[in-house]
């Protein structure tokens, strides 16, 4: 499974901007680059990044077995879903690829863990209490490995990690839209690196 830290979620309206964004953030300290299936030609984006030697590239918003197989065949190193689907988890485990299904209730979390999920995506975490929710659920389930997602901001990352979350999914806070639209990979990388290393006091 990925190291603890920030997963950059790449969700753009074109394959071109997705590649610019992914190439930039991959040069920083993010522990994973998640290309969502809502990106046009997402599988091609993943395959291109893998061919270029970008590691830690995964697929997000994976909702069907066909999508999952296509992403793994393209070289995705982890699979993230917005929901819990037992078949998706079982097949990913069988193919030896870490899978992170979306869950919210303790029952869903327990089921995902029993199926062999590498971690559980708490989604949408901000809508159900954020840090306080993670702390509350981990108390009776300390063995759970949570990836928090859903309007999580960079200033909140260390708060989540401090209470026991494994990783946090971050979207637009890591880049400037103008850099992405212009195709400026260097500027994307520099800005993302600055945002990731900027001091964030734990509240």
Asked about 34 being catalytic, the answer comes back as yes
Question: Annotated catalytic residue: which of 34, 52, 151, 194?
Answer: 34
Alpha carbon distance 199, 41 (integer Å) = 36
| Bridge partner residues of 120 (DSSP) | 146
**How far apart (Å, rounded) are the C-alpha atoms in residues 59 and 43?**
8
90 is catalytic: no
CB 8, CB 180: distance < 8 Å: no
Task: Establish whether the linkage from the previous residue to 124 is cis, with ω within 30° of 0.
Answer: yes
3-state secondary structure of 100: strand
Which member of 121, 139, 156, 194 is catalytic?
A: 121
Locate 68 and state its tokens.
């999952």
Known catalytic residues are 34, 121
């Amino acid at each position: 499974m990925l190291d603890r830290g920030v997963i950059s979620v790449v969700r753009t309206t074109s394959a071109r901007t997705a590649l610019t964004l992914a190439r930039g953030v991959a040069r920083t300290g993010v522990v994973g680059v998640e290309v969502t299936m809502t990106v046009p030609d997402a599988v091609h984006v993943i395959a291109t990044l893998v061919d270029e030697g970008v590691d830690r590239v995964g697929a997000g918003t994976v909702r069907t077995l066909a999508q999952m197989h296509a992403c793994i065949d393209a070289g995705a190193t982890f699979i993230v879903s917005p929901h819990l689907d037992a078949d998706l988890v079982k097949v990913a485990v069988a193919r030896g690829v870490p899978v992170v299904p979306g869950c919210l209730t303790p029952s869903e979390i327990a089921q995902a863990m029993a199926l062999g999920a590498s971690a559980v995506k708490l989604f949408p975490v901000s809508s159900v209490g954020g840090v306080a929710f993670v702390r509350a659920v981990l108390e009776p389930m300390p063995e759970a490995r949570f990836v928090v997602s859903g309007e999580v901001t960079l200033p909140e990352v260390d708060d989540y990690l401090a209470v026991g979350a494994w990783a946090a999914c971050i979207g637009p806070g890591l880049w400037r839209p103008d850099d992405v639209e212009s195709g400026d990979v260097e500027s994307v990388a520099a800005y993302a690196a600055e945002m990731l290393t900027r001091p964030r006091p734990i509240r």
